[in-house]
Amino acid sequence: MALKKGETVELKIESTAFKGKGVAKHEGIAVFVPGTAPGDLVMARITRKKKKFREAKLLEILEPSTLRVEPVCSHANVCGGCTWQHLPYSEQLKNKEQHVRDHIERIAHLDPDIVQPILGCDRELYYRNKMEYSFATRRWLTEEEMNRDEFVDDTAFAAGLHAPGRFDKILNLNECHLQDPVSYQMLDFTRNYCIEHDIPAFDTFKREGFIRHLVIRNSHFTDDLMVNLVTFEDNQELIGELSEKLLVEFPRITTIVNNVNDQPNPTAVGRYEHVIYGPGYIVDHIGNHAFKIHANAFFQTNTRQAEKLYAVAREYAAIESGGHLFDLYCGVGTLSLFMADKADKVTGIEIVDVAVENARFNATENGVKNVNFVLGDMKDTFNDKFLEENGRPDCVITDPPRSGMHPDVVEQLAGLDVDRLVYVSCNPSTMARDLKILKETYIVENVQPVDMFPQTYHIEAVAKLTRK
């Protein structure tokens, strides 16, 4: 009998799926259950019914899997940040590699054996160099509070991370083990300061309030530590007082900035920015190069692991003999500069103006003269006119966002007469979608998974393509 929405069912979890959900089978229908591990016997409630699968909520673990471990963080079963703290890291890696293989076979229709053994991370915790916390006027209730018969008020000043699938409610964090512990300590201090001084959190529905986000960036190879206070209003007196208290409490801070986002969108990127203290940026290293990183510029979140990722990309690019390299979606130029010592010329394209500004600065600061960075939207910029103006490449590296490349860019790459193409991806499913098209022009030789985010389901991969 087909499972209906709202029905409760006993399930044996057999494997994991992308996004970290456990997978069970019931009368041949796949049922996805978050928060479970292979081997778990669970009781779950069906929350979504589709023709070929069901989604369910975990109600109770009847018999725990022998694979299960105790999560380090008390929020692990509720927070959407760490989906796999209940699995040993070795099992996380095993599942991530299998997910890449599944995408390559199922979506790209390629031989899964081209996927190489995954490169794991040396640090399972405290590996992130950036955390973005949010503030709100509504908090996420605990399981106990949700199950009470009486009404529980959820209106309160909350600081932490968005509850999974909710833009309006915040899980009040008491701890976090992904970034240097000073990160959570500053969140706790800021939350208490705002409550004590009647500084309101931003209300998403009323579009009023003051504090919106706290973004902490720290450098792995230097002592730089940035605090980015994102506010709805521009009140320099209030921000100045809070900043002074932060500097007294946390003398490690090297710069404080205030991004003012007075728009309804939920982003931590302000419409404009004030530098409150210090230079307004931090400096970190990848390989032999130093990088200037502003509050809103993209930089690989796991600095040490980024070196492994880039080393694979450089190996696949095979530019030891020189040549012209294109770096699409180049960000602040980290990969461009990492490749520059092996290439005759590197041309990067990026849509974020502050990232291009940082990339040019980074090239100058590192004395790299054979790179050129172009500001523009990839689908509009990367065209025949661009090739005429900048010359044709010997190798192209593309590192697009999670959504993958725009179809126009994929089409341009498919028609480009280039010897080697290296695809760096933070989403193997969209990479596989693009490879399905690119394989008509190129041979997909290898795909190398690289784990940048332990405790989560996220996985990066690098694909090596050569011209047929």
Active-site residues: which are they? 426
Dist CA 332 CA 375 (whole Å): 11
Q: What is the DSSP letter of 142?
A: P
Dist CA 388 CA 400 (whole Å): 23
Name every residue whose Cβ is closer than 8 Å to that of residue 289 and which is 6 or more positions away in sequence. 334, 337, 338, 362, 366, 368
Contact 64, 70 (CB under 8 A): no
Half-sphere exposure (Cβ direction) of 309: Cα atoms closer than 13 Å: 26
Dist CA 382 CA 386 (whole Å): 6
Dist CA 243 CA 277 (whole Å): 8
Nearest 5°: CA angle at 348, between 345 and 354? 135
How buried is residue 247: exposed, middle or buried, by Cβ count under 10 Å (0-12/13-18/19+)?
Answer: middle
Contact 134, 309 (CB under 8 A): no
Half-sphere exposure (Cβ direction) of 181: Cα atoms closer than 13 Å: 1
A 10 A CB-CB count for 336 gives: 28
Name every residue whose Cβ is closer than 8 Å to that of residue 382 and which is 6 or more positions away in sequence. 328, 349, 409, 412
Name every residue whose Cβ is closer than 8 Å to that of residue 197 and which is 6 or more positions away in sequence. none
Half-sphere exposure (Cβ direction) of 348: Cα atoms closer than 13 Å: 31
Residue for token digits 């201090």?
189
